[in-house]
Structure 1
Amino acid sequence: MGHLFDDFGRYGQLTALIDGTTGRKLTYTELQRAIVRVGSALWRLGMRKGDVVTLFSENKPEFLIIYLSFAAIGAVISCVSPTYKPGELVNALTHAKAKMLVASTATIEVAKQAAIDAKLNQQDIIVLGEAAGFRPYSALLQDDGKCFPENLDWDPREDLVALPFSSGTTGLPKGVMLSHYNLVANVEQTRTQDVMNYAAGEDVLIGVLPWFHIYGQTCIALAGLKSGVSLVSMPQFSPELFVKIVKEYKVTKLHIAPPIMLFLAQHPLVNGDHFSSVQFIVTAAAPCAANTMTEVRNRLDIPQIRQGYGLTESSPVTHVNPSKNYRYDTVGLAVPNTEFKVVELTTGESLERGSEGEVCVRGPQVMKGYLGNEKATRETIKDGWLLTGDLGFADADGHLIITDRIKELIKYKGMQVAPAELESLLVTHPAVADSAVIGAPDERAGELPRAYVVLKPNLHVSEDELQKFIAERVAPHKQLQGGIEFRKEIPKSAAGKILRRILKDELLADKTG
């Protein structure tokens, strides 16, 4: 990640990071110095190029400092949601073969529990703050920087820098292998004049999207720091803090997800005076209704509101509406050096513009593959094309319109939930014989996980008991907020595949009928 690091000296005394909860600031010079010291300390601790670290924290300046420190010494950073429960964290640690774990004071108790099952020693855990018995981040800052490796043998196209997780349609989330080349390419693709066009010393961004998510990492954190902007961190979304930061620090460009768009359209706390500094809003991670964007535009008088599109597997950005002639009904045009096509579902043949099929993308930002899963990689990348699993079509102007998803992932506020993961967990309850999970449409969240459960003969469990059973084992975004329905059987094909479309159709019919 020297591509970013080399510019920090040039930006010097410009403000790089601001803690949105305390107001503490770091200049680019201070950021660069911290990265050298922390990187040197990590090298002394035995971290080497290719070693994996799991980063388990909410947004804060230290998150980005330690992220960049690991990247600078050639380590691979696997960021996970700070809402993970111990079992989920164990899966992430073991799948990535993490050598080290970085947690915050807010997540250290979960980290402590997971570390035992993942066979991590206490000295392999760094805490961003203070926690008795664990190595504090502050101790790394005391290093003299003399062990910082200056001349690593880099192969940007092959060497990994990030290992985020993407939920598949079956089994547990898969590790997405992103190289330095992938992330640098996407940073530059998003910084172009017609996309983000950040200006050093002028633009202020807010880290309202989680930095563990690739959207927040690439579009806000990495592209922002490469451009010399000021980044204001938020540990989690709070209406009052969000509005306060936008107004106080005069945020210029907003990257958000649809639930925050809905907040901007409806919440009484929001008014145009608070958002007068905002030049544009980009919404992505899930579809956003055109009427919601229109409401925000009319309410706040934002000059531009644009929609974008991408996947974890593409670092993530592949499409964004241009700064001129943007439209609310599309996810925009392909970013520079990116191709896309729409193919017929059964034959894979390319379709003409206007015809609906599976959207495929190709470009330097497309992942190397899934960690330890060659079969899934082969099924997802064919002849250099990434099969997105989304249905859509290209219009006459080259804009991409997404119409549906082929994959059965549930998208809750832009975060992916694999039905199979929840189904597997439900049947571990002693009273449950079978289950199916779908996404129930929801105006605010996009979709809510909803379960259909078959009980074993002569056994009983209430919906509240099952809700609690799941809540104790998964992050909040995976909980069954769409409800639980008890059934005599789950609709399945002759081959035993759950027919989720039948369940979705029934749910929609009940709502409209």
Structure 2
Amino acid sequence: MIYSSRYPDVAVIDDLIHERVLGAAAQRGSLPALVDAVSGRTITYGELATLVERLAAGLAAEGIGVGDVVALHSPNTVVFPVVFYATTRAGGTVTTLSPLATPQEIAKQLVDAKAKILVTVSALLGPARAAADLVRQETGAVIEVLVCDEAEGHRSVLGLLRDGQVPPYDIDPAVGVAVLPYSSGTTGVPKGVMLTHRNICTNLEQISGLHRIEEGDRIIAILPFFHIYGMAVLLNNALLRGATVYVHPRFDLDTFLTSLERDRITHAYLAPPVMLVLAKHPTVGQLDLSHLKRIICAAAPLDAGLQAAVADRLGVEIGQAYGMTELSPGTHIHVDGNTDEPPACVGHLFPSTKARLVDPLTGADAAPGEPGELWIRGPQVMKGYFGRPEDTDAMVDADGWLHTGDVARVDADGNWFIVDRVKELIKYKGYQVAPAELEAVLLGHPDIADAAVIGVYDEENNEIPKAFVVPMPGATLSGEAVMQYVSGLVAPYKKVRRVEFIEAIPKAASGKILRRQLRQRERTPA
């Protein structure tokens, strides 16, 4: 059965992303676009338009043009969107990296994405330089490391600003890649997701009639800009609509709560761990949050009880949304003002979006009301994985259906619920963690013969990576030693947080790890 949106289709938008998002920026003049929530540094819409144009001219003078990739490795700053949109304005593609990434992870993405330059901040120069060294050692390529601020021995991207014109170029929005974020998809290691200008601009149009942001609204930006969720709602949609974005370089509880009240925030886009803070932290009850209109929670499922608790405490409309990097990213959202929507649902299908629910074992459509793997078809489906046609074909079938790996159900009123995952991906506090990536790290330990990783739940109901480890004969290993080894090689959110030693990893004849047996072992009392 094919499910269609209850909302009319929207036109496909064949604009370039910077044109779509910043098309009205110059006319907005002195309206604040970006405010550093810590320092107060402000960039107005007029300044943003000028900075993007001047930096694009500078990047073009450095040789950045159509098909060239700029890697942006930075926490949230008011300069981040300047670099982001200046790159696409110059004709290039942006690939974003987590500020928590290790040198090895950065280098791997730089090589895979074929990045020409790396833009970071002075505080992250250590891993950025180390990554550039690794790339040079591995490939011979020299990648210049620039900074968004100032650092001795490195050029600042703001030093590239120039008044010259960007040379003309021709990009077809339907195929030209605007952004290359990395995602693990349903299985495997992180892969570059090719999102075209059409993908992103049409997805912005799909959400426009369901969730309203207006000029003068105030949005708190604690989600990371490098992540597709933050990129979509805190940069693209917020700046398109003329909102003021209060930029937080990292999540700090006191600063977050202070900003909610002081900055008279109207919209907050959050993940479940922050919702828990809003439900239970004593300070929240002392704040004047009368300006807050709406909270949207995404990145991981939000428990119905927690959603209700925050709604009751704050007296504010709360909804959920669903998407994934490969979907540009949105497909479902709580529609503004829909008071009949039950808690824990992720809302309704976007316009111009179709869905199926499929039994992952039989491939047959699930019966009405029954759960199945969610398949999506629409203009927001990615172009594919960069340089990985086989992975693309495994994710998007010949009929254009993207197989999300998430198990969903839909009720008779068209409310959608995400109930499980058939994919192997672990979601730790909204961050993607690929078991295969951690397994490769574990197998690099000289005293580990074999390993497998699955997601388990801790005492606070967060999904965390657990490693099952087979030691080499005669080796003496401790769980703590294994965890310390992994933590030195991966970003903090990817760390293995539990270890169990096991005689053998269960595998199929093909060699595929039988994770379901490990999950069953986890559920069975010792």
What does residue range 93-104 of structure 1 map to in structure 2 within 5 Å? Answer: 93-104=110-121
TM-superposed CA distance for 1:392, in Å, is 1.5
- Residue of structure 2 in register with 1:500 after alignment: 515
- Residue of structure 2 in register with 1:322 after alignment: 335
TM-superposed CA distance for 1:147, in Å, is 2.8
- Residue of structure 2 in register with 1:217 after alignment: 231
Matched, 1:227 2:247: no
**One-letter code aligned to 2:371:** E
TM-superposed CA distance for 1:359, in Å, is 0.5
Matched, 1:414 2:430: yes
Q: Does the residue aligned with 1:221 lie in a helix, a strand or coil?
A: helix
User: 8 Å contact 1:438–1:451 — kept in the other structure?
Assistant: yes
Q: Does the residue aligned with 1:71 lie in a helix, a strand or coil?
A: helix
User: 8 Å contact 2:186–2:404 — kept in the other structure?
Assistant: no
Matched, 1:385 2:401: yes
Query: Which of 334, 338, 342 pairs up with 2:349?
Result: 334
Deviations 1:208-262 (CA, angstroms, capped at 9, x unpaired): 1000000100112110000000001111110011011111111101111111111
- Residue of structure 2 in register with 1:126 after alignment: 146
Take 1:46 and 1:213, find their aligned partners in 2: how far apart are those partners?
A: 27
**One-letter code aligned to 2:407:** L
- Residue of structure 2 in register with 1:435 after alignment: 451
Matched, 1:90 2:107: yes
User: 8 Å contact 2:102–2:490 — kept in the other structure?
Assistant: yes
TM-score, length of structure 1 as denominator length: 0.95
**One-letter code aligned to 2:253:** P
**Unmatched runs of 5 consecutive residues or more in structure 2:** 1-16
Q: Does the residue aligned with 1:178 lie in a helix, a strand or coil?
A: strand
Task: Tell me which stretches of 4 or more aligned residues in structure 1 moved more than 6 Å.
Answer: 120-123
TM-superposed CA distance for 1:423, in Å, is 0.9
**One-letter code aligned to 1:507:** E
User: 8 Å contact 2:55–2:158 — kept in the other structure?
Assistant: no
**One-letter code aligned to 2:160:** L
Deviations 1:403-438 (CA, angstroms, capped at 9, x unpaired): 211111100011111111111111111111111111
What does residue range 140-219 of structure 1 map to in structure 2 within 5 Å? Answer: 140-141=160-161, 143=162, 145-149=163-167, 151-168=168-185, 170-192=187-209, 194-195=210-211, 197-201=212-216, 203-219=217-233
Take 1:122 and 1:274, find their aligned partners in 2: how far apart are those partners?
A: 52
- Residue of structure 1 in register with 2:370 after alignment: 355
TM-score, length of structure 2 as denominator length: 0.92
Take 2:82 and 2:344, find their aligned partners in 1: how far apart are those partners?
A: 38
> Bigger CA drift: 39-48 or 394-403?
394-403
User: 8 Å contact 1:243–1:274 — kept in the other structure?
Assistant: no
TM-superposed CA distance for 1:351, in Å, is 3.4
TM-superposed CA distance for 1:36, in Å, is 1.1
User: 8 Å contact 1:16–1:25 — kept in the other structure?
Assistant: yes
Take 2:329 and 2:45, find their aligned partners in 1: how far apart are those partners?
A: 26
Q: Does the residue aligned with 1:387 lie in a helix, a strand or coil?
A: strand
> Bigger CA drift: 356-365 or 164-173?
164-173
TM-superposed CA distance for 1:506, in Å, is 2.8
- Residue of structure 1 in register with 2:13 after alignment: none
Take 2:470 and 2:283, find their aligned partners in 1: how far apart are those partners?
A: 44
**One-letter code aligned to 1:351:** A
**One-letter code aligned to 2:265:** V
Cα RMSD, aligned residues only: 1.7
- Residue of structure 1 in register with 2:325 after alignment: 312
Deviations 1:256-290 (CA, angstroms, capped at 9, x unpaired): 11111111112223226342221111101111100
TM-superposed CA distance for 1:329, in Å, is 2.8
- Residue of structure 1 in register with 2:5 after alignment: none
User: 8 Å contact 1:307–1:330 — kept in the other structure?
Assistant: yes
Take 1:418 and 1:123, find their aligned partners in 2: how far apart are those partners?
A: 27
Deviations 1:376-414 (CA, angstroms, capped at 9, x unpaired): 111111211111011122211122221211111100011
**Which protein, 1 or 2, shows the higher relative CO under an 8 Å CA cutoff with sep ≥ 6?**
2
TM-superposed CA distance for 1:28, in Å, is 0.5
Deviations 1:72-129 (CA, angstroms, capped at 9, x unpaired): 1111000011000010001110010001111111211101000012238777221011
